[in-house]
Amino acid sequence: MGEPWYSPQLPTPIDAPYPIIFNDEVARLLGIDAAAARAQGYAETLSGNRLPDGCHPVAHRYAGHQFGIWAGQLGDGRAITLGDIQTANGARYDIQLKGAGQTPYSRFADGRAVLRSTIREYLGSEALAGLGIATTRALAIVGSNLPIYRETVETAAIMTRVAPSLVRFGSFEMLFYNRRFDQLAPLADHVIDGHHPDIAAIGSGPARYRAWAERVGDLTAALIADWQAVGFCHGVMNTDNMSVLGLTLDYGPYGFMDAFEPDWICNHSDSAGRYVYDQQPAVGLWNMGRFVQAILPLLDDDPDGAVKIGQDLIEHYRHSYDRAWMRRMRAKLGLVDERDDDRALIEALLRIMAASHADFTRSFRMLGHVSAARDASGAPFVDEFADRQAAGRWLADWRARLGHDEARDDPRGERMRCTNPKYVLRNYLAQNAIDRAQDGDYSEIERLYTLLQRPFDEQPEQADYARLPPDWARGLVLSCSA
């Protein structure tokens, strides 16, 4: 791949880079010897100061809709892709340095990232990976004492991001709006041939691209259903932040909910609330509309026929998301079979949680510890609710619903505890790690990473990390500043 998809760009050297954290699991994924990387000193390479032999770094070019408004050309303003690695099993991963200096797409920015935002992306991507949710990964963080000017003066950091592909919805929008229709198929073929061998086998022509667009819709629907099921808010679901592989991409002002608030805004830059928790599925639908519009020339030679196919693809996404969400929510409640009244039961629980500001993660987790027996105690589940009576009434309905399934407590509870995490990356936990790191202590980053690799396990020695957030952390929101 080459123009118009990216521009050659060398990283800008940074003064005295030093190692902060290295991810052994991601190193194994890439076939890298982590011990050797540490022994040889990875800071010079993963800061961009010393490039591997044969490396030809580039900055990706794309466009996008930001907060629903067409923003035109965007691109990697502070991320530089060194190239890709092919593993022993044939998988390929792009290796990208975030915060490695200015690119042709930096506009007026400095091309750097700060330690604060870099830690948040490192922990956020690895937390979702631990939950089994599709995401980019993080190999390492390298720091520098170079001062970076944001709301305050901070220090620089560079994170090594790893992904099978970094192609976005906005990559296709760029071609469509620039009327580079002849380049849509080569970019689509690059994705299909590299990641969807079953679709590649279809051959050429509109049927190939229709099948691929449907796959993009399914992957996107599954991703957003996964987010909703764990109370995760992305915060900036612009089309340039939407991966065509259904990966969680670009960790800006994200957050895991504490108290359940359907209209929670995790990004204080989102003054209109476009990307609140309960709007994420609808935004996914809207973004799919922009993606389908961009690839219309691939769907049919007849423009009217392409529009009709596009409409069918949008409707397919709608149904795909609904099925994915219902599967996940049934699993969270321990339900095995499907019944028509399950949606009402699920939505009733969410209403009661919202009215009581019950903690999202703890409420579902505690439900897995409750017996299905009608005369058994409702604790610890009802203890999470201010309105214990409402929670008790819902619990009775849930127990009655379980009567239609095989409802033995032990296997059901185990299934639920494998679906409802005990630990998530709450904002205050990430902030604690950042505060320590800014004082030169990186141990909390490692501790959280280790904890969040096994979020469904009890880990009793780490139980404090599952407590309700302290008063100072309630309502903590973040901005897009990086």
pLDDT, tens digit, 9 for 90 and up, residues 65-105: 999 999 999 999 999 999 999 999 999 999 999 999 999 99
- Cα separation, 231 vs 273, whole angstroms: 16
Which one, of 234, 18, 208, 60, lies nearest residue 135 by Cα?
234
- Cα separation, 334 vs 328, whole angstroms: 10
The pLDDT, as a whole number, for residue 475 is 60
Helix or strand run (H / E) with residue 258? none
Query: Which residues in the chain show pLDDT less than 70?
Result: 1-3, 404-407, 475-482
**Amino acid identity at 5:** W
Coil, strand, or helix at residue 106?
A: coil
Coil, strand, or helix at residue 227?
A: helix
Token duo for residue 69: 């408004």
Q: How far apart are the first and last CA of the chain?
A: 29
Q: Are 292 and 188 in contact (CB under 8 A)?
A: no
CA 230 to chain centre: 11
Residue of 240, 250, 270, 359 marked active site: 240
Other residues' Cβ atoms within 10 Å of the Cβ of residue 68: 14
Which one, of 122, 141, 118, 142, lies nearest residue 130 by Cα?
122
Which one, of 475, 63, 479, 482, lies nearest residue 236 by Cα?
479
Residue 435 sits at the vertex; the CA angle it makes with 27 and 361, to the nearest 5 degrees, is: 75
What is the full DSSP assignment across 306-349? HHHHHHHHHHHHHHHHHHHHHHHHHHHTT--S--TTHHHHHHHH
Token duo for residue 263: 């209209």
CA 219 to chain centre: 12
Counts of helices then strands in the chain (DSSP H, E)? 17, 12
- pTM here? 0.96
pLDDT, tens digit, 9 for 90 and up, residues 371-391: 998 888 999 999 999 999 999
The pLDDT, as a whole number, for residue 1 is 46
- Bond into 4 cis (ω within 30): yes
Q: Are 175 and 183 in contact (CB under 8 A)?
A: yes
Whether 359 is catalytic: no
